[in-house]
Amino acid sequence: MSQSGNSGIGRIYIKVGSDIIDLTGTAKEVQEDWLKIKDEVSWEGKLLAIKNARDSAVQIAAQRAVQSGIPERGSAFRRVLDSCDIEKTGDVILAAIHYLRFVEKETNTPPRELKNLVSQSGKWDKEDVEKWNLSLYINRMLEGGVTGKKQEPFLEYPTGMPKKNRYVVLTDAGRNYLESLTRV
């Protein structure tokens, strides 16, 4: 709702497809008319139409991206795993964190997102990945190494972020470890 100067006149203008809502009057009149429109059943239908159109556009864009040769994230991550011959669970989790941070530029990835990425690779069934105890692996890598043997930590919490597993990033030791896997 906007007001023009100090005149107390307000206006709401919304265009949804071919429907136009143009309310003008005192601020109180505009607010009352707006509340009436929001309570109408047709308003909910218009909002649903906008949501459906947006969802359809996103889906079409994703299909076009795949058709144009842009790999979907699961197959891209699988290529990383296959080219580096990464098979061990801890190594896969470390690689997934690195992939999400470095390639996709994600900063907040809850464990379910890591599991989704690994499942999307197609190397493991979703049911198998669900059984993985990501917190245990992440905590071990925060303490040092993948196996829990005393090494330099492979993961750390970024400065200024909450100390939650969803925010962990690779340390230099973690990146070096992944590098060493690519040379094998």
One-character DSSP codes across the chain: -EE-TTS-EEEEEEEETTEEEEEEEEHHHHHHHHHHHHHSHHHHHHHHHHHHHHHHHHHHHHHHHHHTTPPPHHHHHHHHHHHHT--SHHHHHHHHHHIIIIIS--S---HHHHHHHHHHTTSS-HHHHHT--HHHHHHHHHHSSSSSSS---SEEPPTTS-S-GGG-EE-HHHHHHHHHHHT-
Overall average pLDDT of the 87-96 stretch: 92
Tell me the pTM.
0.60
Is pLDDT of 136 > 80? yes
The model's pLDDT over 35-46, given as tens digits with 9 standing for 90+, comes to: 877 776 566 676
Lowest-confidence segment of 29-33, 136-140, 159-163 by average pLDDT: 29-33
Confidence class for position 149, pLDDT limits 50, 70, 90? low
Is pLDDT of 4 > 50? no
φ/ψ bin of 53: left (φ > 0), alpha (ψ from -120 to 50), beta (otherwise): alpha
Contact 141, 148 (CB under 8 A): no
The model's pLDDT over 62-71, given as tens digits with 9 standing for 90+, comes to: 667 656 655 5
- Report the chain's mean pLDDT, rounded to a whole number: 81
Is pLDDT of 164 > 70? yes
The domain ranges of the chain are: 2-67, 73-182
Residue 23 confidence (pLDDT): 82
